[in-house]
Amino acid sequence: MIFWLATTALAIGTVVLLALALWRGHSMARPAAEFDLKVYRDQLAEVERDLARGITAPEDAERALTEISRRILAADKSLREDKAATRSPVAARATLVAGLAVALIGGSLLLYRELGAPGYGDLALSTRIERADIARKERPSQASAEASLPPAVPNLNVPEDYLKLVAQLRTAVSQRPNDLQGATLLATHERRLGNAAAAHAAQAEVLRLKGSDASAEDFANYADMLVIAAGGYVSPQAEGALAAALKKDPKNGVARYYSGLMMMQVGRPDVAFRAWATLLQESPDDAAWVDPIREQIEELAFRAGVEYELPPLKTEGLAGPSADDVKNAAEMSAADRQEMIAGMVARLSDRLATEGGTPEEWARLIGAIGVLGDEDRAALIWQNAKEVFADQPGALEIVRKAARELGMTQ
> H-helix or E-strand containing 405?
helix 393-405
**Long-range contacts formed by 203-212: CB under 8 A, 24+ apart:** 205/173, 205/177, 206/180, 209/178, 209/180, 209/183, 210/180
Q: How far apart are CA 296 and CA 279, in angstroms?
A: 13
| C-alpha span between 43 and 258 (Å, rounded) | 88
What is the average pLDDT across 376-385?
84
Span 42-47, mean pLDDT? 81
Q: pLDDT of 91-110, one tens digit each?
A: 666 777 778 778 877 777 77
Percent of the chain with pLDDT over 90: 32
Considering only residues 200 and 17, tell me which one the structure prediction assigns the higher pLDDT.
200
Looking at residue 179, its pLDDT comes to 93
| Other Cβ atoms closer than 10 A to 180 | 14
The amino acid at 237: Q
Q: Above 50 in pLDDT, residue 323?
A: no
Q: How many Cα neighbours within 13 Å face the side chain of 383?
A: 6
Is pLDDT of 301 > 60? yes
Q: pLDDT averaged over the chain?
A: 81
- Rounded distance, CA 45 to CA 307, Å? 70
What is the set of domains in the chain, with CATH numbers?
2-115 (no CATH), 142-304 (1.25.40.10), 323-405 (no CATH)
**What pLDDT score was predicted for residue 261?**
95
Question: Stretch 121-136: mean pLDDT, rounded?
Answer: 76
DSSP 213: G
Distance between CA 225 and CA 254 in Å, rounded? 11
3-class DSSP assignment, residue 280: helix
What local confidence, expressed as pLDDT, does residue 409 receive? 59
Q: What is the per-residue pLDDT across 237-260, written as a single tens digit (0 to 9) for each? A: 999 999 999 999 999 999 999 999
Maximum average pLDDT range among 15-24, 89-98, 142-151, 332-341: 142-151
CA distances to 374, 380, 397, 398 from 408, in Å: 13, 11, 13, 14
- Please list, in sequence order, all residues whose beta carbon lies within 8 angstroms of the beta carbon of residue 41, skipping any fewer than 6 positions away: 72
* 370 CB neighbour count, 10 Å cutoff: 20
Dihedral angle at the C-alpha atoms of 360, 362, 367, 368, nearest 10 degrees? 110
Residue scoring higher pLDDT (285 or 96): 285
pLDDT at 338: 66
Average pLDDT for residues 61-89, to the nearest whole number? 72
Cα 127 to Cα 300: distance, rounded to the nearest angstrom: 20
Contact predicate 268/132, CB 8 Å: yes
Q: Confidence class of residue 207 from pLDDT cuts 50, 70 and 90? A: very high
Q: How far is CA 97 from its chain centroid? A: 41
The CA–CA distances, whole Å, from 169 to 13, 84, 178, 229 equal 77, 100, 14, 21
If pLDDT is split at 50, 70 and 90, which confidence band does 322 have? very low
The lowest-confidence range among 48-57, 74-83, 159-168, 320-329 is 320-329
Class of residue 105 by CB neighbours under 10 A (exposed 0-12, middle 13-18, buried 19+) = middle
Position 312 confidence tier, pLDDT thresholds 50, 70, 90: confident
Q: CA dist 312 to 60, 315, 318, Å?
A: 86, 8, 12
pTM over 0.85: no
Task: Please state the rounded mean pLDDT for residues 310-326.
Answer: 59
pLDDT-wise least confident of 33-37, 58-62, 273-277: 33-37
Runs of H (alpha helix) within 318-392 = 323-330, 334-355, 359-371, 375-388
